[in-house]
Amino acid sequence: MNAIILGPPGSGKGTQGVRLAERLGVPKIATGDLIRAAMKDGTPLGIKAKQYYDQGLLVPDDIILELIAEVLALPEAAQGLVMDGFPRTVAQAEAVDALLAKRGTQVDRVIEFVVPEQELMDRMLKRAAVEGRADDTPETIRRRLEVYHEQTAPLVAFYEKRGLLTKIDAVGTVGEIAGRVSEVLGG
Ligand code: AMP
């Protein structure tokens, strides 16, 4: 099962992705986590990504396409994976399709987490206070939401056209939302 969790920053993709991956018995892989680790380790990817990351902008596709190729070649992802935070652009979505096709698989399901804008702002400001993420300042939060609408939201139509997308109301308790995700994916 190759599943994608699509949704704006702060919509709970990470929290739900872990639970979903456990249930499906596949890894959850988040490009955001990989980028944060690369920045911490000071790798070439981390150094290139930092200026975009810190401003709340997407890291350019040429950099991310390489990262996605590495992720989809991981042996632990051979039986499937939950993709959290990627693809984020149409070019990335096309790359995911091509890389999975090479492996003889495909995107099986895309779940879109729907959360009202004000709730997203509130959640991320709260998270900023707890985690102290560099990209969780009010200004970058607003920028990340704009970037989502401009560059990532077109993926909703991209996957809807193929009949792969299900929208989920992602407001509620962690358990309630996990239940809605399970309904979509069966089991
Ligand atoms: P996230 O943890 O998914 O919210 O991502 C945090 C930041 O990492 C984003 O604001 C981007 O700067 C960068 N990032 C993560 N995943 C991607 C991606 N697939 N494409 C471009 N930039 C990304």
Q: What is the pLDDT of residue 186?
A: 66
What pTM was estimated for this model as a whole?
A: 0.93
- Ligand 1 atom at shortest distance from the alpha carbon of 89: 20
Q: Which residue has the higher pLDDT, 147 or 137?
A: 147
Residue 78 CA, ligand 1 centroid: distance in Å: 23
Tens of pLDDT along 75-129?
Answer: 999 999 999 999 999 999 999 999 999 999 999 999 999 999 999 988 888 888 7
Each residue of 158-183: pLDDT tens digit?
999 999 999 999 999 999 999 999 99
Q: Is 109 designated active site?
A: no
Q: Give the pLDDT score at 102.
A: 93
Length of the chain: 187
pLDDT of residue 112: 97
Name which of 18, 179, 29, 180 is nearest 112 in CA terms: 180
Distance CA 41, CA 70 (A): 18
Structure confidence by residue, pLDDT tens digits, 46-78: 999 999 999 999 999 999 999 999 999 999 999
Query: What integer pLDDT is reported at residue 162 of this predicted model?
Result: 96
Tell me the best of 15, 45, 59 to mutate to test the pocket of ligand 1, counting ligand atoms within 8 Å of each CB and taking the most: 59
127 is catalytic: yes
Using an 8 Å Cβ cutoff, are 123 and 129 in contact?
A: no
